[in-house]
Amino acid sequence: MRRNTHVFAYASARPALSGRAVSTAIFAAAFCLAAGHAGAQGMANSTMMATPVQAQVNTQQEAFYANRLKMAPPQIRARLDALQAEGKQRGWTFTVGYTTAMDRSLAQLTGAKEPAGIAEKAPQQNAFAADAIKVYDAEAMKYHVGPFVLACHASSAAFDWRTLGKVTPVKDQGGCGSCWDFAAVAAYESAYAIRNNVMINASEQHILDCAGAGTCGGGWYMPVWDWMLTHKVVATGTLPYTAHDATCPSGLSGLYQDVAWGWVAPGGAVPTVDQIKAALCAHGPLAVAVMATPAFQAYTGGVLNQGPMTAYNHAVTIVGWDDVKHAWLVKNSWGTGWGLSGYIWIAYGSNNIGYHAAWVQAPSNKFVIPRQLIDVIARYKLIPIPNPGPEHVQPMQNMQQIQH
């Protein structure tokens, strides 16, 4: 009981308030039950290792959620009350509160819809990726661009791509079910930063309007990367995000495309913890599917540990891990008013995290993509048909044009 009391005290700590505000602040802290000594020790270690900047961010975040709860309508309080009761019963090790995501329905926030039969193509896709990278690396050597050097090791107890400055800021998909779009772009932006040491801001709206990978009603991240093999995405400044489906505009001149993408688990499904760690080190942040629940929607801190699930409805990006927490560090696309400034820790094996994990490789900005890659794409018949709109030429022609 002593461990549980200690964790509750940590979760409920807030600046001094009076009257009803006291109970409000405590309720915003919700719950954080100790899952054995390892879980409590992990939280203690994380607290002791926090930097002054991190401590300030945590304090600001707690104040943000406490202030929002003061203005919460009765139905929000009732939902949080029900989640708190369920958490105590099930031994959850995370907190819930009035996040900005709770102002929308889960149906608006999620939209991961897997195309039929895509997992069956995983072996062929990975064979293509291996051949494409071989061709690309051979071309890179001509320009004295060295091979990608691993930034971490899967045997490490923890790793976070943010510490190396390779993760772009958290974005907000709004009330459009375009999580698949944001997950694809987040992984690509990190891949580009890793390859070129340059942070970019690619246009999710361009992909939403033109890639044919989905709509605000849902989609999937892998077809985005198929499209990017033969089409360039513009910067967000050229086509800002509106959170609405629109007709693909004409006359766009893009900047960003990929050279390959692959599955973490050759047969699809959920890779092992070791496979995900190895892929994170070898390729960078990964686009994955997960099951976003009402508790996920209200997450404000701790480690989400709702347990094993087989369903999925949302796409996110894994950017790191922590074996003390026994969890993945995940970047979401619901803005910074949700979770840990837009991030969440999800326990290994919980909420189907990692389902259909995939990586993408961005090209070097020091030379153009080689013509030989066209032959590889054609050989594997990976030539997506573009939406009618900005590029009325065929994908192969489009690919050839960028070589000049």
Q: With 0-12 CB in 10 A as exposed, 13-18 as middle and 19+ as buried, what is 339? A: buried
- Dist. CA 182–CA 201, nearest whole Å: 11
E-strand ranges in 273-376 read: 286-290, 299-304, 314-322, 327-331, 343-347, 355-361
Q: Which helix (H) or strand (E) holds 42?
A: helix 36-48
User: How many angstroms separate the Cα of 73 from the Cα of each of 31, 70, 103, 284?
Assistant: 20, 9, 10, 41
Sequence-ordered list of residues with C-beta below 8 angstroms from that of 77, at least 6 positions apart, any chain? 27, 69
Q: Given 313, 332, 351, 352, which residue is catalytic?
A: 332
Closest alpha carbon to 379 in 204, 229, 193, 155: 229
- Dist. CA 272–CA 366, nearest whole Å: 35
332 is catalytic: yes
Q: Given 32, 152, 176, 179, which residue is catalytic?
A: 179
Sequence-ordered list of residues with C-beta below 8 angstroms from that of 394, at least 6 positions apart, any chain? none
Q: Given 206, 231, 283, 314, which residue is catalytic?
A: 314
- Dist. CA 256–CA 16, nearest whole Å: 50
State the catalytic residues.
179, 314, 332
